Amino acid sequence: MNDRPLSSGEQTAIILAAFVVSPLLLLVLWFWWRDTSPQRAKGVADIAKWFVLAWLILFGLILASGLIAQFSRLWN
């Protein structure tokens, strides 16, 4: 058994996959249901809107904290 911590490349790949796959899944479900079940498609679209908004806010917070950390190193 290969019991070792994740490398930074593996961590990045997992984060990107988690970030990309979920919106794509919502898009696939929307395409799947848009003609056969419009109400489900609308529900998926509503979820996708909130999901994307939440991820944008989270990404903005991560970016802001990274920038703050970089500038605090410059000032010290």
**pLDDT beyond 90 at 13:** no
* Sequence-distant (≥ 6) Cβ neighbours of residue 14 within 8 angstroms: 6
Mean pLDDT of the region 19-47: 80
Range 21-30 average pLDDT? 78
Are 19 and 11 a contacting pair, CB within 8 Å? Answer: no
What's the mean per-residue pLDDT of the chain? 79
Q: What is the pLDDT of residue 6?
A: 55
What is the percent of the chain where pLDDT is above 70? 82
More confident residue, 11 or 52: 52
Distance CA 14, CA 69 (A): 24
